[in-house]
Structure 1
């Protein structure tokens, strides 16, 4: 069982990309990993469920979202922020 936000997010992304966790690096983009728009939405849903958070994401226009999906590291950082906000 992953014990950090980073581990769990990487696990979710790896599952969506049908890759081993070891194949996912923090510098990867979702495109690098072969995750399309449907996979992105499924990843967001899985992240929301795993952390019991609401991701402010506009699937119709990702560039208008406050949720940065530019890389795995950016997604981890955004989720960490949402998890921290939830604890306040």
Structure 2
């Protein structure tokens, strides 16, 4: 069975946070999960590799990026959008 985008993103985030995917809530922030700025960048790279996409994220100035990292749900929604755009 193929994992959904949400399941794959949560698995990547959970791996970075060194927790079980079941512990990742959609309303949590990466900070809530104990992921620091380096962990964020590593998560973005892992997501890009997993989905073969380019995430519009500026690691030098995350607040200036058009990529919403405010919660797990916003990250999942953004990745779903990028995956759909790539498929179109």
- Give the root-mean-square deviation of aligned CA atoms: 1.0
Structure 2 stretches of 5 or more lacking a match? none
**Residue 47 (structure 2) aligns with:** 47
Check if 1:63 corresponds to 2:87. no
Using the TM superposition, name which of 59-68 and 29-38 deviates more: 59-68
Structure 1 stretches of 5 or more lacking a match? none
Q: How many residues align?
A: 88
**Residue 10 (structure 1) aligns with:** 10
**Residue 37 (structure 2) aligns with:** 37
The 8 Å contact of residues 2 and 8 in structure 1, kept in 2 or not, is answered as no
Distance (Å, rounded) in 2 between the aligned partners of 1:53 and 1:75: 14
Check if 1:73 corresponds to 2:73. yes
Distance (Å, rounded) in 2 between the aligned partners of 1:82 and 1:9: 13
Distance (Å, rounded) in 2 between the aligned partners of 1:61 and 1:77: 21
TM-score, normalising length from structure 2? 0.97
Moved over 4 A (4+): none
TM-score, normalising length from structure 1? 0.97
